[in-house]
Amino acid sequence: MPDTSTVAEATQTPVYADDVSELDPSQRGNDPLLHVEHLVKEFPVSSSIFRRGKKRSVHAVNDVSFDIYPEETFGLVGESGCGKSTTGRCLMRLINPTSGTVVFNGEDVSNMKGKQLKGLRHDMQYVFQDPYASLNPRMTIGELISEPMYIHNEGGTNEERIDTVRQLLKVVGLNPEHINRYPHEFSGGQRQRIGIARAFALHPKLIICDEPVSALDVSIQAQVLNLLDELQQEFGTAYLFIAHDLSVVQHISDRVAVMYLGSICEMSDWRSLYAEPCHPYSQALLSAVPVADPDLQRSRERIILAGDPPSPIDPPSGCLFHTRCPIAQEICSKEKPELREIEPGHFCACHFAKPFPIEGSSIKL
């Protein structure tokens, strides 16, 4: 048994994630483009399913804080239903957060209305997961890509807009001659390129990429990932990159946050997160990804978690992960571990992460 008193002491003066701008040495002196603090989103559940009189809700996003800096890619990874898309949608005010602060480009997003909101959606764009459902089938790709310019009354004359569209089509590797074709005439990877061209039409400062490659085959996925990389280099756009595939997130991200049941359990630059994951959930997640190398796959240690993630309607007490955590202790079901900085720039929400590890709390990956 670990010495719980030390743990309690340690959690008394935790360093919270929202202080990241002051603490991350690589980013010091650089104002965040996006600042998210204590973001909460609950969806009410219709009471008919549950006992009458008792209001219940889905705790989709549960006190999430992070920053995104200009020109960086921030990866958000976690299993299905952990709240990744809901987080992204709150940032852009596609849905309204229950509470918390979102500051984008120095302005508070939470109370924006009308014109301001329109401005927000000029500088922040969203690329959706499903390249089949997210494009209006009755619009030509020229209309689809130029639509944001029309909405924001930008891009000059019609001819100039068409020129821009052709330019964008070329940039994303599509034939500018195809400007009058419809989405169904394109493959999945090509449609995702169309969505990306549309997102870039207004040169936004931040693009929320919600599983942009999950529906694509590996060879096509690599094309789209490289494209996102090139466009970032060219335009200096920051990305919030949402995905459940850890290798993809690692490949594209500068910093990564791991989400579990609506909360961030670990956050760090990609190198230390993947080399030294400190949270038992990140460790299990990383060890569960099969690597395409049989020698390595046969020899490496793996943590197979028992059971399914609990319901976000009724999240566990204390540490959200304690029902599946292989090293859970008594304190874990009672006290919620704060997201604290265990090394410069590396945040972890576990009572037993550094500097208080217990035996078996870390594995070699």
Partner 1 sequence: MAFGKKKGEAKDPLANTPLSGILDGITDLKEQPIPEGHHLLEVDDLHMFFHTKDGVVKAVNGVSYTLDRGETLGVVGESGSGKSVTAMTIMGLIDMPPGKIEGGDVLYRGKSLLKMSEREMQTVRGNDIAMIFQDPMTALNPVYRVGDQIGEPLRIHRGYSKKDAVDRAAELLSMVGIPNAEQRVREYPHEFSGGMRQRAMIAMALACDPDILIADEPTTALDVTIQAQIIELMQKMQEQNGNAIIMITHDLGVVADIADKIMVMYAGNPVEFGTADDIFYNPIHPYTWGLMRSIPEQVTDEKKPLTPIKGNPPSLVTLPKGCSFSPRCPYATDLCRNEVPKTYTLPDGHYSKCHYALDPDFVKGRAPENSRSYSGGTPRVVIDEPAGAPVAGMAKSEPGTVTAVDGALAQKAPEAASAEEGEE
Ligand X SMILES: Nc1ncnc2c1ncn2[C@@H]1O[C@H](COP(=O)(O)OP(=O)(O)OP(=O)(O)O)[C@@H](O)[C@H]1O
77, β-bridge pairs: 243, 258
Among the listed residues 196, 161, 191, 159, the one whose alpha carbon sits nearest the alpha carbon of residue 178: 191
Cis upstream peptide for 312 (omega within 30°)? no
Instruction: Tell me if 267 contacts ligand SF4 by CB under 6 A.
Output: no
CA–CA dist 334, 78 (Å, integer): 24
The answer for 307, left when phi > 0, alpha when psi is -120 to 50, beta otherwise, is left
Type of residue numbered 213: V
Q: Where in 27-46 is the site for ligand X (CB under 6 A)?
A: 43
Question: x/- site string to ligand SF4, residues 276 to 295, per CB under 6 A?
Answer: ---xx---------------
CB 90 within 8 A of CB 96: yes
In 216-254, which positions are buried (b, 16+ CB within 10 angstroms) versus exposed (e)?
beeebbebbbebbeebbeeeebbbbbbbbebebbbbbbb
CB of 128 to ligand X, least distance (A): 11
Instruction: Tell me if 45 contacts partner 1 by CB under 8 A.
Output: no
Binding Mg ion (rule: CB under 5 A), the pick from 27, 85, 192, 282 is 85
Binding ligand X (rule: CB under 6 A), the pick from 7, 64, 82, 202 is 82
Q: Where are the alpha helices (DSSP H) in 157-257?
A: 158-171, 188-200, 218-235, 246-252
Place of tokens 């689809």: 144
CB of 236 to partner 1, least distance (A): 19
Binding ligand X (rule: CB under 6 A), the pick from 27, 86, 237, 253 is 86
| Residue 332 binds which of partner 1, Mg ion, ligand SF4, none (CB < 5-8 A, kind-dependent) | ligand SF4
Q: Within 13 A of 7's CA, how many CA atoms are on the CB side?
A: 21
Binding ligand SF4 (rule: CB under 6 A), the pick from 77, 327, 339, 342 is 327
CB 71 within 8 A of CB 26: no
CB of 270 to Mg ion, least distance (A): 21
| Residue 340 binds which of Mg ion, ligand SF4, partner 1, none (CB < 5-8 A, kind-dependent) | none
CA–CA dist 30, 39 (Å, integer): 22
Binding ligand SF4 (rule: CB under 6 A), the pick from 174, 337, 342, 362 is 337
Phi, psi (rounded to 5 degrees) for 78? 170, 170
Instruction: Tell me if 81 contacts ligand X by CB under 6 A.
Output: yes
Binding ligand SF4 (rule: CB under 6 A), the pick from 69, 74, 347, 352 is 352
By CB under 8 A, the count of residues binding partner 1 is 43
CA–CA dist 232, 340 (Å, integer): 31
User: Which CB atom, from 31 or from 234, has the smaller least distance to partner 1?
Assistant: 234
Question: x/- site string to ligand X, residues 198 to 237, per CB under 6 A?
Answer: ----------------------------------------
Q: Where in 297-326 is the site for ligand SF4 (CB under 6 A)?
A: 319, 321-322, 325
CB of 217 to ligand SF4, least distance (A): 18
Question: x/- site string to ligand X, residues 281 to 320, per CB under 6 A?
Answer: -------------------------------x--------
Binding residues (CB under 6 A) for ligand X: these are 43, 58, 60, 78, 80-86, 244, 312
